[in-house]
Amino acid sequence: MGTEKPGLGGSELIAPGSEITRLNLDIKQYEWLLRTSLGPKARRMFEHLLARARSELALIEAEESDARAWVEQA
């Protein structure tokens, strides 16, 4: 059973534990919100959330890449 996540065009189901999928959806949503007319406070908040989501995604992807490289060498 997935978790319901509001998307730009409706709701999408995400598999539990799928951090990469969740972060990608969050990034798309934050980017879309930043393209809309937001006040300065809201814009700063979403810029911060976008940067945090991108940073988390990069860390997870780097860990997965390291794990794959380690498995291939073993």
Confidence band (pLDDT; 50, 70, 90) for 74? confident
Provide the whole-model pTM.
0.67
For residue 38, count CB atoms less than 10 angstroms from its CB and return exposed for 0-12, middle for 13-18, buried for 19 or more.
Answer: middle
Q: Give per-residue pLDDT as tens, 13-64.
A: 555 458 899 999 999 999 999 998 889 999 999 999 999 999 999 999 899 8
Query: Who has greater pLDDT, 69 or 55?
Result: 55
Confidence band (pLDDT; 50, 70, 90) for 72? confident
Cβ(3)–Cβ(16) under 8 Å? yes
Total domains in the chain come to: 1
